[in-house]
Structure 1
């Protein structure tokens, strides 16, 4: 599978604050194999929070990012990263990725990025890709003319 279709769960929490009325964050990513998930629909409507399912996204994997996928999968809690922007008072996901590197680049450029726990189906799919394409960098042996030279310089 070249693309893994997903939908993002965005949550709006109402705040009791002078500075902000509400706070948005991505709280989940779910597989979305049906076409009906492309539209935005409300999942939860409560006094203090709302949740929306925003579909139409697909995860794509690239060979040159295999080391970043490996790092993600080997972390204690693998994540799916959601970059979103506030447009017309609502949070709109823009990019969904499983690459640590891509998420870091987005954060470095000032974008809002949330990490959510990776569902098992996505972890299995990414794991298959990593098993096929991840090649650890070869270890380089450092040759020293005099292995005790560093010790002598310190004294």
Structure 2
């Protein structure tokens, strides 16, 4: 049995030429698809029309780790589970945006945002959501919440500083 289940994915990025007078390029995450052998391994242009282009970036792997269980749980219970994609604009050529990593963990996406990375998300397909839910249910147990006694029920000497 594979200790770390994984999926091969491809990321589709959208690029728009001069969307307004202040920007030369605008990049956005378009979708994440389960990788097929037909995709190959090199990024390529899928379609370009009217200043809008879509690029396929294959070869991403999402692995599930037991210590990220809380992040998966938070993603699944958010109401709209998503793929999180961290991507960067090329410093030398701002017309190029490249995805760097894909995750299913809400906590990992938060760490990327804390590091001031660009992170976008797209909805999970139902089969991937079910796969993630099965793994999370089998490997994650939320910590029991401990009820704290209100300060007013404690003796004055036991109360913490305000």
**Which TM-score band (shorter chain)?**
0.7 to 0.9
1:84–1:111 Cα contact (<8 Å) kept: yes
Are positions 1:80 and 2:83 aligned together? yes
The worse-fitting range, judged by mean Cα deviation, of 137-146 and 32-41 is 137-146
Matches for 1:41-80 after TM superposition, within 5 Å: 41-80=44-83
1:152 maps to which residue? none
5+ unaligned residues in a row in structure 2: which ranges? Answer: 156-162
TM-score (ref. length: structure 2): 0.82
Distance (whole Å) between structure 1 residues aligned to residue 107 and residue 149 of structure 2 = 31
Divergent runs of 4+, >4 A: 143-149
Matches for 1:6-155 after TM superposition, within 5 Å: 6-34=9-37, 36-87=39-90, 88=93, 89-143=95-149, 147=153
Q: Deviations over 1:58-77 (max 9, x none)?
A: 11111111111011111221
Distance (whole Å) between structure 1 residues aligned to residue 137 and residue 19 of structure 2 = 48
2:10–2:34 Cα contact (<8 Å) kept: yes
The worse-fitting range, judged by mean Cα deviation, of 68-77 and 13-22 is 13-22
5+ unaligned residues in a row in structure 1: which ranges? Answer: 150-155
Count of matched residue positions in the alignment of Structure 1 and Structure 2: 150
1:110 CA drift (Å): 1.1
Distance (whole Å) between structure 2 residues aligned to residue 143 and residue 19 of structure 1 = 55
Change (3 A) 1:19 1:69: same
Distance (whole Å) between structure 2 residues aligned to residue 80 and residue 14 of structure 1 = 26
Are positions 1:5 and 2:8 aligned together? yes
TM-score (ref. length: structure 1): 0.85
1:16 CA drift (Å): 4.1
